[in-house]
Amino acid sequence: MFPPVDKDRGFPERELDVLRFWKERNVYQQTLDARDGAPPFVFFEGPPTANGMPHPGHCLTRSIKDLYPRYKTMRGYRCERKAGWDTHGLPVEVEVCKELGIHSKEEIENFGIEPFIQKCQASVWRYMNEWERLTERLGFWVDLKHAYVTYHQSFIESVWWSLKNLFDRGLLYKGHKIVWWWAQGGTALSSGEVGQGYREVADPSVFVKFPLLDKDGEPTDESLLVWTTTPWTLPSNQFVAVNSAIKYVTAIDEESGEKFVVAAELLGTLADKTKRKLRADTSPVDGAGLIGERYIPPFECYRDKYDTMAQLANGGSSYTSWRIVAADFVTTESGTGLVHIAPAFGEADFEVLEDERSQFNNDTEPLLLNAVGPDGKFTDEAPEFVRGRWVKDCDKDITRDLKSRGLLFHQEQYLHDYPFCWRAEEDPLIQYPRESWFIRTTSVKEAMIENNSKINWLPDHIRDGRFGKFLESNVDWALSRERFWGTPLPIWVCNKTGKKEAIGSYEELLDKPGVRGTEVWNNSKRANPNLVDDLRVHKPYIDAITYECSSTCDCKGTGRKERVSEVIDCWYDSGAMPFAQWGYRGEEGPSQARDRFSSQFPADFISEAIDQTRGWFYSQLAISTLLWGKQSSHESMLAKVVEKVTGKDNVVPYRETKTVPYPHPFKNCIVLGLMLGEDGQKMSKSKRNYREPNEIFDKYGADALRWYFFANQPPWTSIRYSEQSIKDSVPEFLLRLWNVYSFFTIYANIDGFSPVGSGNSSSAGTPRVPGAAPKRLLAQRSELDRWILSELNRTAAIVVERMDAYDNFAACGAITEFVDALSNWYVRRSRDRFWAADKQSAEKLDAYWTLYECLTTTAQLIAPFTPFLAESLWQNLVAKPLSGGKAGGAPESVHLCDYPTGDASAIDEQLSARMNLVRHISSLGRQARTSASLKVRQPLARVEVILADNTHQKWLEEHAAVIAEELNVKLVEFSDEPDKYVEHEVLPNFKLLGKKLGKLMPKIKPALASQSGAELLANLRDNGKVDLVIDGEAVQLLPEELEIRFKAKPGWTAANDKGVVVVLATEVTPELLAEGLARDLVRVIQDRRKETGCEFTDRIEVGVVTDSPELRAAVEMFSEYIAAETLAVRVTPAPIQGVEPVKVTIGDYSADVYIRVVK
């Protein structure tokens, strides 16, 4: 017996049963154990942050992350799934600050770093319960018990190991970064914060004269005309930039006689704007010709100190500052075509300086000129009249000073967007250089690009599109953060000489000579034994630890090493997870970590949404390429230097890691589209434009949500959250399949069908359920059975092919199509067999076996997609009836099965095509009935079927009974007189003829249409070609170059499509009418049976009382038929005593119907 179908329970309730079952039987672990020793399929979990509530977007990523590992496990791989949590970073600090009611860094310091980071650590787990519950409820199988956590000591030490590796190879360095700086608050703002604060403001806009110098350094009578909207940056001017490709002229002011260099194109605009008479005094020259010219900066403050020559790397020498340099970003859209460069106050400006520096020898390169302090006030290096004042307040005085010295050419107001601090609206931000630690990613740029090119991105435009473009514009990774809650940067600096050293583990640190400061942690721990041990490698405890320098330090061992204050970008944490999740610290490190890492690297599969392009996707690729990619250009350079100095060949700098063939650290990556709210906007809590995941689970279930994600669109399209669509996936797919299962169970139990039996040995088409034994082999079964099993295996083959290509959307499409065929054709066409009286007839058993095989295999097919439904089916169809896992040898869970891959020998493409044709003809017949308003219950005499292609005609003729039954007609004829019903249309095959005929193409179709289809056909039949003359040119058309279509002639009740016409005989004779009435009556009686609560097997007696002679005649004529259909022992034309009749309308007639159960 199969367990009866529980009609009262919904999908969500059954899912909870399944969850309990998985937990009790430890099924996830079993699936792993079952693949012990199997080839690995490596999955990396991109760590979410658990300090916010999970929303439907997270359900999407977690669903797709579950799908492929489940699939690959069933395909025979061992797929470990280690969960992970991202726990560091500013968002955590901000949450804690909110809680404490504080904002600035200073306030945090006043509160105390120690209690602050303790609060951060606790805050990280605030929503952990919700996350774990969601993960479980969604059916995401992942090892939460052994999750990696980025603040754990082993993780941090692993990160340290990697940073030490980079540092020792010269790939981690300290430099400057231009940031948006909130001077009053003393902190840098993230790009997100800056973006929030843009406002339109009017700033002064000044055109300033920079007098040119001649070759001897003497002033000339020409000036560079330079434009800026930030006069306060002028004292820190260092260069003037031109675009080498733009034309410049020397212009002369006809009134004053002054000469200016400006972009030729802007001369007119400038003259209009300033109402001066300017004319070109020279013919235009390329900007390239100006490069290297020197000028007098607008302020003298640095001039006496830095107006010096220095050695160039290539041998010559050059002035360090106040020269014209080339920059591509210079345009003629505004200004003068000459741009004032103050590298301290603009990212582009700073890059100019970096470029310049690279041309000088290291020790003589230009310094950064910066007359402004971090407080936003001018320093003592600035001109006296602005010293100590807030820079923005000085714009006017600076302009006035320039004017008084005759250097101001023009002045105006300029309206533009400028960022202000989002926490202090009146404070404008300034761009400002901060010291920062960088990873020299630019030195592995080519390697990253090569590595990227080997990754299988889905969709593939990510590779050369968003991600590829991003790599092309790579800049060094600004790693450090002047914050508190993060992985401390493991660099210790000599307090005497500034000599730096990287530390690769806590142990290494404690092993240093003369270590001090460990008591800070120890005391805290003693005072509070509950303190989480991992915190000892965090601020402030780690900062307290110092040690003695060794004799190899520049201080000769007289100084002490102290840690730098910064923590690192938490993106580095996430990008380090491929090795840090195991605590890997190199080949010399812990051996267990080494083994885990080597077997789980690189990943076969990862997936996140597209917003991770510059996040996790990049951080992983960059770190992996740095550690295991080809040698960086910087290292090669160092190697050459060392070689030069030492004279040794093949010198390679320190490098602890081996190279690993690309791609790594991941091979396949599904980039999910962003999930939008119900209104198409970004999902946000405040807008309430989505439902809580739990509501969805309770209402529709996790399978409904998962199927909606997998089957509704390719995963990379951005997906508009739609509760309706989730709801729809229930009847569209889940319920339809469930109904088939329910049908099977009801009748299998009535007939006592059991999959356990003394049946045949396994063979093609027999079930993949160990312990089940079918009666007959595939070849012995009916065509319908062979057809659906062919479809089943074909579907499995398609699904496997698509899933191996990470195309779940197409895979789901194939499954949906199969379930439709199973439900709407196989089951419907097999009903008679299921209802046959002889319980043991071979045909009946075949039907059960076939449907059983379809259902159990479908359960396996859908297992990775909708794991709950699959499990319910499996439990009820296999595990329970076969007492799974014990007697029968059938796996106790569907997830322990091997995935069906489709048995090629069971696939019959021809049968599939033929059955499709039958379905198509039936559909057309129904269409014809509809257009003639002849309902299917009314039998008709015959249909005529006309086929354009008679390949399958003979087969169809043998199967005419099926069509006759579907269409309720007495006779199906395949007409040999098509001309009677259809007219032909001969069309050109554009694809073939287009190449052959070219320009004549448009005339072919009308030429063919001008002749009768029948003639053309005859022509084609007799001569094997059609001859046409187009524009006097003879054209021969071969049969394959023509397409023959036909349609029903008017006057027939017919439907046509795709080379098939079905013509209906519409005449209704009295006999046919009577039969129709009988069928109507059957339906009425069946309804009545159901209403009165008859069991499927109850026998009844029926009375039909009517005034209509037609109806009486019909009852009389078809009483046997009616009795058989309705399980009636007799059908009489008289009332039945003691039974309330029901008044019914049958056709055009009314009647009283009595039914009574016969005991």
Partner RNA sequence: GGGCGCGUAGCUCAGUUGGUUAGAGCGCAGCCCUGAUAAGGCUGAGGUCCCAAGUUCGAGUCUUGGCGCGCCCA
CB of 650 closer than 8 Å to CB of 441 = no
Cβ-based burial of 940 (10 A; exposed 0-12, middle 13-18, buried ≥19): buried
Q: Quick one: 216 or 417, whose CB is closer to RNA?
A: 417
Interacting positions 321-350 with RNA (CB under 7 A): 347
In whole angstroms, how close is the CB of 417 to RNA at the nearest point? 8
Q: Rounded CA gap, 474 and 454, in Å?
A: 18
Span interacting with RNA, options 143-151, 296-304, 824-832, 897-905, rule CB under 7 A = 824-832
Strand partners, 248: 263, 285
Q: CB neighbours (10 Å) of residue 814?
A: 21
Q: Report CA Rg, the chain.
A: 41
How many CA atoms, within 13 angstroms, populate the side-chain half-sphere of residue 101?
Answer: 0
Interacting positions 904-923 with RNA (CB under 7 A): 923
Out of 926, 952, 970, 1049, point to the residue binding RNA (CB under 7 A): 926
Q: Which token pair is 507?
A: 């142990």
Report if residue 682 touches RNA, rule: CB under 7 A: yes
Estimate the share of the chain in helix, then strand, then coil, as percent rounded to the nearest 5.
45, 20, 35
In whole angstroms, how close is the CB of 285 to RNA at the nearest point? 27
In whole angstroms, how close is the CB of 921 to RNA at the nearest point? 12
Q: Rounded CA gap, 263 and 276, in Å?
A: 16
Out of 495, 636, 1086, 1132, point to the residue binding RNA (CB under 7 A): 1086
Q: 211 vs 239, 279, 403, CA distance in Å?
A: 13, 19, 14
Out of 195, 219, 1039, 1070, point to the residue binding RNA (CB under 7 A): 195
In whole angstroms, how close is the CB of 676 to RNA at the nearest point? 7
The DSSP element (H or E) to which 460 belongs, if any, is: none
Interacting positions 963-1002 with RNA (CB under 7 A): 987, 990-991, 994-995, 998-999, 1001-1002
Strands (E), 339-422: 339-341, 408-419
Q: Quick one: 215 or 1090, whose CB is closer to RNA?
A: 1090
In whole angstroms, how close is the CB of 394 to RNA at the nearest point? 24
566 to 595: interface string for RNA, x by CB under 7 A: ------------------------------
Q: Quick one: 307 or 728, whose CB is closer to RNA?
A: 728
685 labelled as ligand-binding?
yes
In whole angstroms, how close is the CB of 483 to RNA at the nearest point? 18
Size of the site for RNA (CB under 7 A): 79
Q: Quick one: 645 or 837, whose CB is closer to RNA?
A: 837
Out of 114, 307, 354, 728, point to the residue binding RNA (CB under 7 A): 728
DSSP-based three-state secondary structure for 19:
helix
Interacting positions 111-150 with RNA (CB under 7 A): none
Out of 558, 565, 633, 713, point to the residue binding RNA (CB under 7 A): 713
CB of 1028 closer than 8 Å to CB of 900 = no
162 to 191: interface string for RNA, x by CB under 7 A: -----------------------------x
Q: Rounded CA gap, 14 and 26, in Å?
A: 18
The length of the chain, given as a count of residues: 1159
Span interacting with RNA, options 286-294, 524-532, 545-553, 823-831, rule CB under 7 A = 823-831
In whole angstroms, how close is the CB of 553 to RNA at the nearest point? 37
Report if residue 719 touches RNA, rule: CB under 7 A: yes
**Residues acting as catalytic residues:** 47, 86, 571, 612, 616, 682, 685
Span interacting with RNA, options 50-58, 644-652, 742-750, 758-766, rule CB under 7 A = 742-750
Report if residue 936 touches RNA, rule: CB under 7 A: yes
Report if residue 474 touches RNA, rule: CB under 7 A: no
Q: Rounded CA gap, 854 and 845, in Å?
A: 14
Distance of CA 184 to the CA centre of its chain: 41
Report if residue 1090 touches RNA, rule: CB under 7 A: yes
Q: Quick one: 634 or 1099, whose CB is closer to RNA?
A: 1099
DSSP-based three-state secondary structure for 1121:
helix
Out of 648, 831, 886, 1130, point to the residue binding RNA (CB under 7 A): 831
Q: Rounded CA gap, 943 and 1053, in Å?
A: 10
Q: Quick one: 117 or 788, whose CB is closer to RNA?
A: 788
Q: By C-alpha distance, which of 841, 872, 873, 831 is closest to 854?
A: 873
Residue-wise DSSP of 519-568: HHHHHHHHH-TTS-GGGGGSTTTGGG-BEE--TTSTTTT-SEEEE-S-EE
Span interacting with RNA, options 438-446, 566-574, 650-658, 714-722, rule CB under 7 A = 714-722
Q: Rounded CA gap, 204 and 228, in Å?
A: 8
Q: CB neighbours (10 Å) of residue 1035?
A: 17
Q: Quick one: 230 or 250, whose CB is closer to RNA?
A: 230
CB of 733 closer than 8 Å to CB of 720 = no
Interacting positions 658-677 with RNA (CB under 7 A): 674, 676
Determine phi and psi for 779, rounding to 5 degrees: -65, -25
In whole angstroms, how close is the CB of 74 to RNA at the nearest point? 26
Span interacting with RNA, options 398-406, 751-759, 872-880, 1090-1098, rule CB under 7 A = 1090-1098
Q: Quick one: 340 or 929, whose CB is closer to RNA?
A: 929
Q: By C-alpha distance, which of 464, 413, 468, 783 is closest to 621?
A: 468
Report if residue 743 touches RNA, rule: CB under 7 A: yes
Q: Quick one: 16 or 1094, whose CB is closer to RNA?
A: 1094
Which residue has 């500013």 as its token pair? Answer: 90
Q: Which residues are annotated as a binding site for ATP?
A: 685
Q: Which residues are annotated as a binding site?
A: 685
